[in-house]
Amino acid sequence: MSPEENKALIRRHEAALNSGRVDAGLDLFADPSLYNGQPIGREVIRQMRTILWTAAPDARWILEHMLAEGDWVAVRWTMRGTHTGEFVHPAWGSAPASGKPVALTYLDHYRIAEGQIAETWEVRDGLSLREQFGIVTTPSQSPAAGGR
């Protein structure tokens, strides 16, 4: 596929993310695909989405920048939502709904093969997300430091 066709695939991925349905666009991913070097199936992608969308059902991804070369597409996303549901993560812990806004930047690189996303390399600020959900408190957030 050409870089323009690969970018169009990522635009379809964007539409799926913004549909609010955890199963939307799963067919855009090879099964299995690689996520940060580890093989995962579509069911794992659905489970990861469920964790976030249960906590922030109004989550929306804004595609800020997209560059494509060869089989690769690089994207900077901003995810914004409202913490209106419980956040439950198997490794990070849990937090009840706060009603507060959440926002997170993702930097993703996608490798496209045979018309599907075959590989994703993702960087996001997990600490910031845990702070926003109220799972962890950093020194800058503590009352003694004049934080939030």
pTM above 0.95, yes or no: no
Q: May I ask the CATH class of domain 3-137?
A: alpha beta
* Domain segments of the chain as ranges: 3-137
Lowest mean pLDDT among 9-18, 63-72, 115-124, 132-141: 132-141
User: CA 71, CA 41: separation in Å to the nearest integer?
Assistant: 21
User: CA 118, CA 29: separation in Å to the nearest integer?
Assistant: 6
For the chain, state the CA radius of gyration. 16
Q: What is the pLDDT of residues 60-94, one digit of tens each?
A: 999 999 999 999 999 999 999 999 999 998 888 99
The segment with the largest mean pLDDT, out of 94-103, 127-136, 139-148, is 94-103
